[in-house]
Structure 1
């Protein structure tokens, strides 16, 4: 049987034109696993309000990070795909799809089917599990396969926040960029999600988001985004032999008025200088490729907020992007090497 690999990342607009941004945001925010409201409420919020106000602002933000080659996330994901393809060899089909926008998951699946794939291995490029990332990718792949009437054997790579090879690549990347001793604090900023998403993905009924259950062994941890983020931070601290009292874990990119995972990154960046913490570095381990949220939100807006509040030194560690060791890690997953 011929085994093929599908890599999936979030996606980007086709360009910085507000119409392209509007189209992208519409697809993204109308996903019931991103904004998990009843359809009519979601449509009223997204189509009635957000898509009439946000596209121009988002387009301006995308212009700040756009490169001559296009969207950073797309370009980086394509480079990573190329490296994985080179390592697996010409006999192994490898395709890249985006959950939202282009290249679509459907187009990537069609590419793999044309190449005679009988076994499909899918890697959602998200280290931690969430219904708005891992789950929506898995469901979209299943939906597209059904629409294509392609009954291919499929396997999904589980969240890899605890994977040995992933952590080795992540900690190597961090160690190459920063020395903890040069900072008052190191901030681990993860993409936020509404607190209700934690409860919705919990099949055990044990989650409390009160600081206790995340530190107690539980079956719930397999689908708990908060636990997996906190564990990622702990893993890095342990492997780098860092002092944990100089590390903070926060959550960024809040949307709307609902309670999201705390503490919020933006608030923390404003508060730290008032506490005498003037030198920080920021790491974003929820992302494997630099994108709008890491380059513009953290690298530009976050820096401005921190320095304006009285901070003096602000550095951002790049994501894994197309590092060789990350490409090699993906190959180990595909080949079924125990990690």
Structure 2
């Protein structure tokens, strides 16, 4: 079933992009786990689209199509994790080239990039991309092959101006890639503001149920050389998502706009509550007018500011750990974007990154807003 092109994201998601099971008439897209596909007596493929599972899966293509429509992309590719997607992107960088990467982003990305660039003799330049002058200067001086930013960033919730970043990158012939995980395609569309490639860890809010690992790359220029190289890398390296994971991911996507709406509403209320709490010294959330990136976020995020935020508590590390330990509804676990609220004491997880001992990072789920505020109120004491 083909859906019209003028539908809102909630309709596209709920309808799974128009996919149904034509054979049975089921309203849920089918799952086909086969790893290989038949040829007839004349050795012609029974289904010309399917040869071998590595690149051929109907359910994967359905999920990719829905994500492309939500992202306003021409094409998307699914990967078995967010890091697999990032690796496929950066493996297109020529040996000896340079890349400019935002500092203070997801540590898994930074760690992998430092190791990868060292092995490949790629010059890695880390810069505070939320500072327009710093990004402009880094691009002008280093003439990178690729500029990679993450906004809102994890765990500092910094906001980078897409249009400015695109100008800086394109002026020197570089590509701009954006990790938009914390915002999801529901809240922001970097491709419409100049980005060349958008990446998501679909493990997070896109799936939303803490039960699938997945990654996404999206582009508005599927014929570009870099995209062709990424597609070849995914196929040749075998960085493909399994059909069952893709089916679960599609099921999660169908409620994505609704989940994001509730999560944003709750997170905004919680951030405002914490910003006035006497035992909290600072709150990092782009939805707050006091946030340094609020004005930019307000122009490039639509419908909310995401479900991720961080805050600092008085008393340093011991008190922060005590607050985390007293929480009852926020699960002490690593991730973000799920239907259940999560909390982390980041210094315990990543002491080597310079994270303050007093910083607590939280991901807000779809629970009742007042219940979550009460939980935080009791934990703060």
User: Quick check: TM above 0.5?
Assistant: no
Structure number with bigger Rg: 2
Higher relative contact order (CA 8 A, sep 6+): 1
Structure richer in helix, relative to its length: 1
* TM-score under structure 1 length normalisation: 0.30
TM-score with structure 2 setting the length: 0.27
